[in-house]
Amino acid sequence: MAAKHYSQSVSAHYTSGNLGARILAGLRAAGKDPDALALDDLTPVDQFHLGGKPATLELIQRAGLESGMHVLDVGGGLGGPARVIADHADCTVTVLDLSEEFCQVGAMLTERVGMSDRVIFQHGSALDMPFADGEFDAVWAQHSTMNIAEKEQLYREIHRVLRPRGRLAMHENMAGPVQPIHFPVPWARDPAISFLRSSEGTRKLLAATGFREIEWADERETIIAVLRRQASLMALNGPPPLGIQLLIGTQFPEMIGNVARSLQEDRLTIIQGVFERN
Ligand SMILES: C[S@@+](CC[C@H](N)C(=O)[O-])C[C@H]1O[C@@H](n2cnc3c(N)ncnc32)[C@H](O)[C@@H]1O
């Protein structure tokens, strides 16, 4: 698929239009004041990955992010994880994302929680990063590489923008031994923009690119339990006014059901990994 057409399909998948206004309306419906927002008011809508904020906090801990570091959040979406990193680890974070609407809305939400001096947004592709060599102390990739076919180029770019001994922190979906996964899923309505690699293939590729593995944790069972709890809550209360369906549409419950089914059938797994650049 030609690179331009491919990136247009991916950003079209994540673009719904009028997202900022819909999130502000969702916040009001959830009883929040959009003019006096706390960071955690945004959590139901700005953590676009399995496991929510607890998974983000766990990866911060695993990656050893520290005060004063400059972190690149590749495919950082609305910047939810980036704001948590800035807040909890006292880092500055640059979010790079292919979807222009996510960058614009992310910057608006960041301003509303008073963090624009610590979290900035840059529209662009992870395959051709607009950054200098060695610019970052750490690179963060949380559910952001599933749409990228060219993983060799992605990891080369991550290696290039990291300083020597800088860290790569990943929380990602991997292909399980049984294929294919069930569609639609939150990152793709059909296989055309979904490119998962196996855990072993990914670890080998990262080693060949110049990364030393520090930690690799299989999160499959944890996420299955989280999804079970979420499904029972949803069955009881219906979808909340502020949730990921605002980002991805009314198919979200079906998408998340397919993720749960694919995890249970060994078609999909979720990992957290930490690597050091050689
Ligand atoms: C499921 S969302 C995750 C967002 C965020 N990491 C989070 O956890 O809240 C996937 C994100 O990856 C971005 N993305 C996909 N392909 C990309 C690419 N080639 N370069 C930059 N961002 C990309 C999408 O635009 C989307 O914002």
Three-class DSSP category at 143: coil
Strands in 211-218's sheet, in edge-to-edge order, are 119-123, 92-97, 70-74, 136-142, 162-175, 268-277, 211-218
What's the CATH code of the domain at 213?
3.40.50.150
User: Does the beta carbon of 106 sit less than 6 angstroms from any atom of ligand 1?
Assistant: no
236 CA to centre of ligand 1 in angstroms: 31
Mutate to test the pocket of ligand 1, among 147, 157, 161, 244 (most ligand atoms within 8 A of CB): 147
User: Does the beta carbon of 194 sit less than 6 angstroms from any atom of ligand 1?
Assistant: no
What is the pLDDT at residue 4?
62
User: Does the beta carbon of 101 sit less than 6 angstroms from any atom of ligand 1?
Assistant: no
What is the pLDDT at residue 6?
77
User: Does the beta carbon of 14 sit less than 6 angstroms from any atom of ligand 1?
Assistant: yes
User: Does the beta carbon of 10 sit less than 6 angstroms from any atom of ligand 1?
Assistant: yes
What is the pLDDT at residue 180?
98
Mutate to test the pocket of ligand 1, among 72, 144, 247 (most ligand atoms within 8 A of CB): 144
Contact indicator for 50, 230 with CB cutoff of 8 Å: no
Return the residue matching tokens 């006292």: 90
User: Does the beta carbon of 144 sit less than 6 angstroms from any atom of ligand 1?
Assistant: yes
- Token pair of 258, please? 């397919």
What is the pLDDT at residue 153?
98
User: Does the beta carbon of 99 sit less than 6 angstroms from any atom of ligand 1?
Assistant: yes
230: buried, middle or exposed (CB in 10 Å: 19+, 13-18, 0-12)?
middle
**Based on the structure, what is the number of domains in the chain?**
1
Residue 78 to residue 44: CA distance in whole angstroms: 12
Element holding 209 (H helix, E strand): helix 199-209
DSSP designation for 98:
S
Mean pLDDT by runs of 10 across the 278 residues of the chain is 74 95 97 97 98 98 98 98 98 98 98 98 98 98 98 98 98 98 98 97 98 98 94 86 94 95 98 98
Determine the residue type at 74: V
- Token pair of 35, please? 């003019």
Strand pairing partners for 173? 270
Q: How many CA atoms lie within 13 A of 165 on its CB side?
A: 2
97 CA to centre of ligand 1 in angstroms: 6
Please identify, by atom number, the ligand 1 atom nearest to the C-alpha of residue 49. 8
Determine the structural domain holding residue 236 and report its residue range.
Answer: 3-277
Q: Going by C-beta distance under 8 Å and a sequence separation of 6 or more, which residues neighbour residue 232?
A: none
DSSP designation for 185:
B
> pTM of this prediction?
0.97
Return the residue matching tokens 């963090």: 115
